[in-house]
Amino acid sequence: MTTTETDSATTETPPAARVTEEELARKARRSELTSRWFWRILSYVAVLAIWEFALLDIFSFLRGSPLDPKLLPGPSEVVATFFEIWGEGTMPAAFQATLTRIAVGFGLSFLIGAMIGILMQSKWFEGFFKDAVLISLSAPGLIWVLITAIIFGNRPLGPTIAIILTTFALVTVNVSEGIRALPKDLIDMAKSFQVNVFKRNRQIVIPHLAPYLFTGLRFGFSIAWKVTVLTEVFSSSAGIGFEMRISAVLFDMSEFLTWILAFFFFALFLEKVVLEAIERRYFRWRQAVTAT
Amino acid sequence: MAEIRIKNLHKEFGVGDDKVVALEDVNLDISGHSFVSIVGPSGCGKSTLLNILTGIETPTNGTVEITSDGHVAAPGYVFQAARLLPWRTVTDNLLFVQEDRSEGTKERCQRYLEMVQLGDKGDKFPGELSGGMQQRVGIARAFSIEPDVLFMDEPFSHLDAITARALRRELHHMWDETKKMVVFVTHDVGEAVELSNRILVFAKGGRLEDDIQIDLPFPRDPADDEVAVAKAHVLRKFEELDLLAS
């Protein structure tokens, strides 16, 4: 058994040393995290300070401050307006309208994109869809927004189609890449152990595809989000984009910026809280892989 | 008691000028608590034989019967790479190949994890383990379904020498303890001599050239004279067959 002992001695350090090592590593991680957050927050503070500072009256010797508060209100005013609008209750309604559009449009887009991704495993369908996917990936979303706005006006079909055209290809590319990379060795292993096809699909195929689907979901969603707001700016009577258009038309910059702020916070919330929580919860094994 | 009976086994790939004979008229009986190693140079048909035994490939001619007390034997497998599901924990990897998830099954899986000294690693993901530990999980998985026969395809060839040696010791203990039949493919003669009580030497063209019994006591230390002699004997067989050149 001497060999076994040497083996464990090489792979494990004595318990006492390990505790301190772990603690040191944790401490280092924490300080790294703190400084990263510090710089991140500092960038916000810097931008807000410059913005507020540029509007101060001390520049009057230059014949007025470089920025006119009527055209560009300061951050403090924008925040005040934010709470004002929040109090009026128009914000949840606008978000609801926008999010419903995204849910319908991107939901359909995801299904269509995944289906095309599966179909593209066949040579014929690959030829059929290849250029469409390429065009969708490379064309600016604004093109589809304008075209659908002209064709459909403010009917709900417009944004839906614009979202599908701009995002389906992202899902398609990820799904077909995932299918191409199916772990044949694991599937063969499962077959040798006489694991039935349902269990194989549930425990090998789906978990393997999940990160690919998630990447498609994440990138697709970020584009769907932008495109939806754009369609609302051009041709809608509800939603965040619509509210932005109204404030722009009324030259109410404070309100306009407030909507941008709300949009920004919501996007940040989705990205940092919702999506990252999903990632942590379901893709813990990937962190385990990258950590070693 | 497991039994493997191979009669007039013949396997060819391709047709016409591309025809390659992988196995030529192999006749073989293996029974009981044996540890049989299949050795030979690459291209001697040892992988093909394993693939036929495990049902991945079908023979061109001849028959293969794997039985245990009159009924079809349940096989277990250990592959060259560990082949674990990276998104499942160690315990769930073992449970994946089980027929049920009852308490008894879970206890059995835990018992085999302890046998490969990974009793405390059940909640880890494969990515958190070293290559040697992953291969141990693969071995525990194969034993955990309590198969009649275990098929192993060069399971230690990817590991460093020290880890491989430790795992060979463990495998020997498990074979000894569980009284299973093991069919072990390797290109490492030293490994074959250390572990097996029977070595089948295959030559290029898929002929079974020699069937060597090794009756030395276990555990075998490669530094022992008798083990070294046995290894030299097998290597000489290789030379006689002019196999070392290839």
B 53-82 residues inside an 8 A Cβ radius of A: 54-56, 75-77, 79, 81
**Do residues A28 and A127 both lie within one domain?**
no
Domain that holds residue A265: 70-282
**Do residues A130 and A220 both lie within one domain?**
yes
**pLDDT interval class at A104 (50, 70, 90):** very high
d(CA A208, CA B69) in angstroms, rounded, equals 40
Taking a C-beta distance cutoff of 8 angstroms, is the pair B145, B98 a contact? yes
Inter-CA distances, B138 with A61, A146, B130, B142, B143, Å? 79, 57, 13, 6, 9
Nearest to B162 among A7, A207, A208 (CB): A7
Please tell me the predicted confidence (pLDDT) of residue B73.
84
In a domain? residue A21: yes
d(CA A80, CA A292) in angstroms, rounded, equals 48
- Give A204's contacts in chain B (Cβ within 8 Å): 85
Please tell me the predicted confidence (pLDDT) of residue A67.
64
Judged against a pLDDT cut of 50, whether residue A10 lies above it is answered with: no
Q: Report DSSP state, residue A203.
A: I
- State the smallest CA–CA distance between residue B203 and chain A in angstroms: 27
One-letter amino acid at A181 equals A
Using DSSP, state whether B36 is helix, strand or coil. strand
d(CA B175, CA B150) in angstroms, rounded, equals 10
**Do residues A78 and A47 both lie within one domain?**
no
Within an 8 Å CB–CB cutoff, is residue A11 touching chain B?
yes
Cα–Cα nearest to B171, from B154, B160, A273: B154
In a domain? residue A63: no
**Do residues A46 and A118 both lie within one domain?**
no
In a domain? residue A87: yes
Please tell me the predicted confidence (pLDDT) of residue B241.
73
**Do residues A262 and A160 both lie within one domain?**
yes
pLDDT digits (tens, 9 = 90+) for A217-270: 888 988 998 899 899 888 878 888 899 999 888 888 888 888 888 888 888 888
**pLDDT interval class at A9 (50, 70, 90):** very low
Inter-CA distances, B235 with B181, B184, B193, B195, Å? 25, 18, 10, 16
Taking a C-beta distance cutoff of 8 angstroms, is the pair B94, B105 a contact? no
Nearest to B169 among A3, A203, A285 (CB): A3
**CB burial readout B53-76, b (16+ within 10 A) else e:** bbeebebeebebebbbeeeebebb
| Radius of gyration over every alpha carbon of chain B, rounded to an integer in angstroms | 18
d(CA A133, CA A215) in angstroms, rounded, equals 17
**Structural domain count of chain A:** 2
pLDDT digits (tens, 9 = 90+) for A122-143: 889 999 999 999 999 898 889 9
Cβ–Cβ gap B117/A8 under 8 Å: yes
Within 10 A of A52 (CB to CB), how many other CB atoms are there? Answer: 13
Cα–Cα nearest to B69, from B164, B181, B233: B181
Cβ–Cβ gap B54/A185 under 8 Å: no
One-letter amino acid at A83 equals F
Please tell me the predicted confidence (pLDDT) of residue A192.
87
ipTM for the complex? 0.84
In a domain? residue A15: yes
Cβ–Cβ gap A4/B54 under 8 Å: no
Output the six-digit token pair for A176: 């077909």
Within an 8 Å CB–CB cutoff, is residue B5 touching chain A?
no
pLDDT digits (tens, 9 = 90+) for A276-286: 888 888 887 87
Within an 8 Å CB–CB cutoff, is residue B120 touching chain A?
no
Taking a C-beta distance cutoff of 8 angstroms, is the pair B151, B53 a contact? yes
**Do residues A76 and A132 both lie within one domain?**
yes
Cβ–Cβ gap B56/A188 under 8 Å: yes
- H-helix segments, chain B: 46-53, 90-96, 103-115, 131-144, 161-178, 189-195, 225-240
**Do residues A139 and A22 both lie within one domain?**
no
In a domain? residue A81: yes
Please tell me the predicted confidence (pLDDT) of residue B120.
92
In a domain? residue A60: no
Within an 8 Å CB–CB cutoff, is residue A195 touching chain B?
yes
In a domain? residue A61: no
Taking a C-beta distance cutoff of 8 angstroms, is the pair A213, A106 a contact? no
One-letter amino acid at A46 equals A
**Do residues A35 and A110 both lie within one domain?**
no
Judged against a pLDDT cut of 60, whether residue A2 lies above it is answered with: no
φ and ψ at residue B71, rounded to 5 degrees: -110, 170
Please tell me the predicted confidence (pLDDT) of residue A163.
93
Average pLDDT over residues A145-167: 89
Share of chain A above pLDDT 90, in %: 31
- State the smallest CA–CA distance between residue B76 and chain A in angstroms: 7
d(CA B10, CA B206) in angstroms, rounded, equals 9
- H-helix segments, A55-89: 75-88
Please tell me the predicted confidence (pLDDT) of residue A15.
53
d(CA A244, CA A258) in angstroms, rounded, equals 9
**Do residues A38 and A91 both lie within one domain?**
no
d(CA B177, CA B169) in angstroms, rounded, equals 12
Place of tokens 């969603």: A221
**Do residues A209 and A265 both lie within one domain?**
yes
**pLDDT interval class at A60 (50, 70, 90):** low
**Do residues A204 and A119 both lie within one domain?**
yes
Stated length of chain B: 246
- pTM score of the predicted model: 0.77
d(CA B210, CA B223) in angstroms, rounded, equals 24
Share of chain A above pLDDT 70, in %: 87
Please tell me the predicted confidence (pLDDT) of residue A3.
43
Please tell me the predicted confidence (pLDDT) of residue A48.
87
**Comparing A14-28, A165-179, A231-245, which segment has the lowest mean pLDDT?**
A14-28
Please tell me the predicted confidence (pLDDT) of residue A32.
87
Please tell me the predicted confidence (pLDDT) of residue A91.
86
pLDDT per residue, tens digit, chain B (246 aa), is: 788 999 999 998 888 888 888 888 889 999 888 999 998 877 788 888 988 888 888 899 899 999 888 888 888 999 989 999 999 999 999 999 998 889 999 999 999 999 888 999 999 999 999 988 999 999 999 999 989 999 999 898 888 888 888 888 888 988 988 888 999 998 888 889 889 989 998 888 888 888 888 888 877 887 888 888 888 888 888 777 765 555
Cβ–Cβ gap B166/A292 under 8 Å: no
Nearest to B87 among A1, A193, A285 (CB): A285
Please tell me the predicted confidence (pLDDT) of residue B207.
84
Peptide bond before residue A183 is cis, with ω within 30 degrees of 0: no
**pLDDT interval class at A8 (50, 70, 90):** very low
**pLDDT interval class at A174 (50, 70, 90):** very high
One-letter amino acid at A196 equals N
CATH code at position A237: 1.10.3720.10
Burial class (CB in 10 A: 0-12, 13-18, 19+), A289: middle
Using DSSP, state whether A156 is helix, strand or coil. coil
In a domain? residue A64: no
Please tell me the predicted confidence (pLDDT) of residue B203.
83
Taking a C-beta distance cutoff of 8 angstroms, is the pair B118, B110 a contact? no
Peptide bond before residue B86 is cis, with ω within 30 degrees of 0: no
**Do residues A189 and A267 both lie within one domain?**
yes
Output the six-digit token pair for B211: 């069937």
Place of tokens 């497998």: B77
